[in-house]
Amino acid sequence: MKLDLSKRFGEGNGGCSIQCKANQEVLCNCSSAVVTAAHRVSKRATEPCRFGKGGTCCRNCNMGPCQIIDGVAEMVGVCGADAATVTARNFGRIVAGGAATHMDHGRGVALAFMATARGETPYEIKDGFKLRETALRLGIDPANKEKKDLAMEVGAKLLSEFGQQTGGLSFMKRAPKARQEIWAKTGVAPRGIDREVVELMHRTHMGVDQHYENLLFQSARCALADGWGASMIATELSDIMFGTPQPVRTKVNIGVLKKDEVNVTVHGHEPVLAEALAMMANDPEVVAAAKKVGAKGVNLAGVCCTGNEILMRRGLPIAGSFVQQEVVLATGAVEAMVVDVQCIMQGVSPVAGQFHTALLTTSEKAKMPGATHIPFDEHRALDVAKEILLRAIAKFPERGKNFIPKHQMDVVAGFSHETINYILGGRFRGSYKPLNDNIINGRIKGVAAIVGCDNYRVLEEVHIELAKELIANDILVVVTGCAATGMGREGLLTPEALSMAGPGLREVLEAVGCPPVLHMGSCVDNSRILIALTEMVHTGGLGNDISDLPAIGCAPQWMSEKAVSIGQYFVSSGARVIFGPSFPTTGSREVTDYCFKGMLEPYGAVWDMAQTANEFSNKMIDAIHQKRAALGLDKKKERVLFDMAMRRELGNQALHGVGCHGPGGTAG
Ligand code: SF4
Ligand code: MSK
């Protein structure tokens, strides 16, 4: 199949996820029989269905499917459902789908954690300090308890919250007090984790909840059960079990594949199998087997968020983001792609079939035509990992014509909330105070999160241009998921990228050797951003709630249902979120107005939409300055003429160290 990719891939437009040079070179060098999402999307001459895109196609019963047109009386559903009901129901189902993935992921981590505490897996409890901290947070006294007993108690408590019917979620008590009061007042606090998905699916069934506000209320409750429940449990227990990320230097892009090693890529989201593979990759028996077939060893590289998990904790490289998953295989240099769950395109199977590559599914929840299934079980983790690696090694002699592009880029990742605390405040007085102080004194204007997927439907690479614009305006950027990999490809995740930052941000971060864009992890790790925002509130000086902070989030190239759940838990937590290039409720003016304006009243934050990098940056910078103005931080200081007495007083203060504020030096 020969396709003209020039429209999609542009010329000399290196760097963007779609047009990145590595992608272009691989696709130009591989056989025309290789078909990827890039080919499929350019073959689709038509725009996506307007009803589907705007949320007004309903197939919730067999009298439909019904396409609804907002404001046209004859164009309601056969049952009478109007655009607002159908759009809100569809929005709810997107949130339920997204939240459910994180819930199943979190449950899986909790079960593996319990098995580890019982000594049934090869993993260990690596971060004892975080275990004790978490125990205290859950009201469990860690005193005089063996590590494994304490881990059992912590794991059992958190696992119980998945099936819990009433009461609240423990980690929601970490939120600022004002936020907890808002949740209590609105009644939106989740009762149990799984319950909220089940109820949302019930409410969106034909003939149940027909009020869009009520549907969006349950969507918010379900999303909160994701962010402050399942996702946070997944992140915290993974940290305790596999180690809390610390800054680590590694590389990203397809060039991390190696000519003389057996390339094994891990793709999906769950860290448990990838950890076992990392533990076995240097096993003497595995290395000997690799040498026997003429390879120097095994090169483990990530794709999507499984990649982000092992990049954050082990410093292993990432070969590609979501839009690169098929292109990585199209190199012909991958012996095995090991997949677990989420974001795995069905298209990888036919691409793998063009080469010697073994496509290996490992989760009972996710099998694929054309793949070999090797069931993973944490109790047999190392045996399964060894079997996978030996299968990959056996493929190495079959490697035929291949092309590995040179492109790879250095990145510094591993910015957990704990790391930020430590970097800013030092080991013995870890604190967000230097960050808050520098926001107050104006060197840093605020914080922006760029999260989520990359997407073949988006022609402009918004992430990169947006991040550059934000850091140039002295806004600290935090990133997760595939957006982070895209930033990595462009060199934004290195301290050297500070040359692109505004003078204030540069001055603060140069002192601590931090990049201006901080990689905080996989998409489940967006919970780290919730904690970082909470910490900023607790540190003081920037208001009483997340909604007071000069902080904003966005997902300019969102693709997955998870992104919508994530966006909704940020909005319900008080952070404004901008999505692009589309929003799933635009088929109903009422519902979109409610999301873009009406949510301000219950949650103190709203959704918004933008398309170009320019539009995103204008809206985000404006929003940050509005928050600064509300906090009284954007007022121009009156010029003060100092007399002798005032100068003497200043001198005394300097002598006694008053005004010295961490990495920024003296406070302004
Ligand atoms: Fe049509 Fe109503 Fe059935 Fe939806 S629930 S498919 S709008 S009849
Ligand atoms: S993998 S959800 S494409 S970020 Fe987390 Fe990337 Fe989005 Fe999947």
Q: Which ligand is nearest to the CA of 97?
A: 2
Give the Å distance between the CA of 307 and the centre of ligand 2.
11
Name the closest-CA residue to atom 7, ligand 2. 453
Name the closest-CA residue to atom 2, ligand 1. 79
Q: Does the pLDDT value for residue 657 go beyond 60?
A: no
- The first and second tokens of residue 55, run together, are 């949320």
Name the closest-CA residue to atom 6, ligand 1. 64
Asked if 210 and 265 sit in the same domain, the reply is no
Q: Does the pLDDT value for residue 567 go beyond 60?
A: yes
Asked if 236 and 329 sit in the same domain, the reply is no
Give the per-residue pLDDT at 598: 98
Q: Does the pLDDT value for residue 509 go beyond 80?
A: yes
Strand partners, 250: 411
Helices (DSSP H) in 225-337: which residue ranges?
Answer: 232-242, 271-280, 284-292, 304-314, 325-330
Task: Please tell me if the CB atom of residue 482 comes closer than 6 angstroms to any atom of ligand 2.
Answer: yes
* DSSP code for 366: B
In a domain, 602, yes or no: no
Give the Å distance between the CA of 217 and the centre of ligand 1.
21
Q: Does the pLDDT value for residue 315 go beyond 70?
A: yes
Give the Å distance between the CA of 482 and the centre of ligand 2.
5
pLDDT (average), residues 47-68 = 94
Give the per-residue pLDDT at 511: 87
CB-CB contact of 78 with 66 (8 Å): yes
Give the per-residue pLDDT at 9: 47
Asked if 93 and 181 sit in the same domain, the reply is yes
Of 241, 272, 287, the residue at which a domain comes to its end is: 241
Task: Please tell me if the CB atom of residue 456 comes closer than 6 angstroms to any atom of ligand 2.
Answer: no
CB-CB contact of 567 with 602 (8 Å): no
Highest-pLDDT range among 101-110, 418-427, 449-458: 101-110
Asked if 129 and 223 sit in the same domain, the reply is yes
CB-CB contact of 306 with 316 (8 Å): no
Pick the range with the lowest mean pLDDT from 6-10, 134-138, 353-357.
6-10
Q: Does the pLDDT value for residue 637 go beyond 90?
A: no
Q: Does the pLDDT value for residue 379 go beyond 80?
A: yes
Of residues 664 and 599, more confidently modeled: 599
In a domain, 578, yes or no: no
In a domain, 51, yes or no: no
Ligand 1, pocket residues at CB < 6 Å: 58-61, 63-66, 77-79, 81, 86, 206
Give the per-residue pLDDT at 634: 81
Provide the residue type at 60 as one letter.
N
3-state SS track over 149-213: HHHHHHHHHHHHHHHCCCCCCHHHHHCCHHHHHHHHHHCCCCCCHHHHHHHHHHHCCCCCCCCHH
Q: Does the pLDDT value for residue 457 go beyond 80?
A: yes
**Mind listing the pLDDT tens digit for each residue in 531-551?**
999 999 999 999 999 999 999
Q: Which ligand is nearest to the CA of 483?
A: 2
First to last CA, the chain: 62
What is the enclosing helix (H) or strand (E) of 339? strand 336-339
CB-CB contact of 529 with 520 (8 Å): yes
User: What CA–CA distance (Å, rounded) separates 9 from 18?
Assistant: 6
Q: Which ligand is nearest to the CA of 340?
A: 2
Give the per-residue pLDDT at 579: 98
Of 398, 428, 456, the residue at which a domain comes to its end is: 398
307 φ/ψ angles, rounded to the nearest 5 degrees: -60, -45
pLDDT (average), residues 121-133 = 97
Asked if 104 and 157 sit in the same domain, the reply is yes
In a domain, 298, yes or no: yes
Give the per-residue pLDDT at 297: 97
Considering the chain, what percentage of its residues have pLDDT values greater than 70? 91
Asked if 475 and 421 sit in the same domain, the reply is yes
Q: Does the pLDDT value for residue 43 go beyond 90?
A: no
**Mind listing the pLDDT tens digit for each residue in 223-261?**
999 999 999 999 999 999 999 999 999 999 999 999 999
**CB within 8 A of 511, min separation 6: which ones?**
663, 664, 665
User: What CA–CA distance (Å, rounded) separates 569 from 344?
Assistant: 24
Mean pLDDT of the chain: 91
Asked if 301 and 170 sit in the same domain, the reply is no
Of 185, 207, 241, the residue at which a domain comes to its end is: 241
Give the per-residue pLDDT at 460: 77
In a domain, 103, yes or no: yes
In a domain, 588, yes or no: no
Give the per-residue pLDDT at 328: 97
Q: Does the pLDDT value for residue 655 go beyond 60?
A: no
Give the per-residue pLDDT at 664: 29
Pick the range with the lowest mean pLDDT from 72-76, 114-118, 153-157, 185-189.
72-76
How would residue 641 be classed by pLDDT, with cut points 50, 70 and 90?
A: low
DSSP 101-142: HHHHHHHHHHHHHHHHHTT-SS-----HHHHHHHHHHTT---
How would residue 10 be classed by pLDDT, with cut points 50, 70 and 90?
A: very low
68 φ/ψ angles, rounded to the nearest 5 degrees: -105, 140
Give the per-residue pLDDT at 229: 98
CATH no. for residue 363? 3.40.50.2030
Task: Please tell me if the CB atom of residue 559 comes closer than 6 angstroms to any atom of ligand 2.
Answer: yes
Q: Which residue has the tokens 């635009």?
A: 586
Task: Please tell me if the CB atom of residue 452 comes closer than 6 angstroms to any atom of ligand 2.
Answer: yes
User: What CA–CA distance (Å, rounded) separates 119 from 551?
Assistant: 42
CB-CB contact of 17 with 324 (8 Å): yes
Task: Please tell me if the CB atom of residue 451 comes closer than 6 angstroms to any atom of ligand 2.
Answer: no
166 φ/ψ angles, rounded to the nearest 5 degrees: -135, 170
How would residue 494 be classed by pLDDT, with cut points 50, 70 and 90?
A: very high
CB-CB contact of 331 with 259 (8 Å): no
Provide the residue type at 376 as one letter.
F
Asked if 526 and 436 sit in the same domain, the reply is yes
Domain total of the chain: 3
DSSP 579-630: E-S--TTTT-HHHHHIIIIITHHHHS--EEE--SHHHHHHHHHHHHHHHHHH
Q: Does the pLDDT value for residue 665 go beyond 90?
A: no
Burial of 69 (0-12, 13-18, 19+ CB in 10 A): middle
Ligand 2: residue of 306, 479, 480, 523 to mutate (most ligand atoms within 8 A of CB) is 523
Asked if 235 and 277 sit in the same domain, the reply is no
> 535 lies in which domain range?
410-556+610-638
Task: Please tell me if the CB atom of residue 584 comes closer than 6 angstroms to any atom of ligand 2.
Answer: no
Residues in the chain: 668
User: What CA–CA distance (Å, rounded) separates 393 from 387?
Assistant: 10
Max distance between CA atoms of the chain, in angstroms, equals 85
Ligand 2: residue of 560, 564, 565 to mutate (most ligand atoms within 8 A of CB) is 560
Is 81 strand, coil or helix? coil
Asked if 383 and 313 sit in the same domain, the reply is yes
pLDDT (average), residues 272-278 = 95
Name the closest-CA residue to atom 8, ligand 2. 343
In a domain, 339, yes or no: yes
Give the per-residue pLDDT at 17: 41
Q: Which ligand is nearest to the CA of 455?
A: 2
Name the closest-CA residue to atom 7, ligand 1. 77
Give the per-residue pLDDT at 14: 32
Give the per-residue pLDDT at 636: 57
Q: Does the pLDDT value for residue 15 go beyond 60?
A: no
Asked if 224 and 354 sit in the same domain, the reply is no
In a domain, 162, yes or no: yes
Ligand 1: residue of 51, 57, 59, 61 to mutate (most ligand atoms within 8 A of CB) is 61
Considering the chain, what percentage of its residues have pLDDT values greater than 90? 84
Give the per-residue pLDDT at 182: 98
Ligand 2: residue of 322, 454, 520 to mutate (most ligand atoms within 8 A of CB) is 322
CATH no. for residue 184? 1.20.1270.30
Counting atoms of ligand 2 from 1, which one is nearest the CA of 308?
5
Whose CA is closest to 195, among 171, 229, 170? 229
Counting atoms of ligand 2 from 1, which one is nearest the CA of 563?
2
Asked if 133 and 269 sit in the same domain, the reply is no
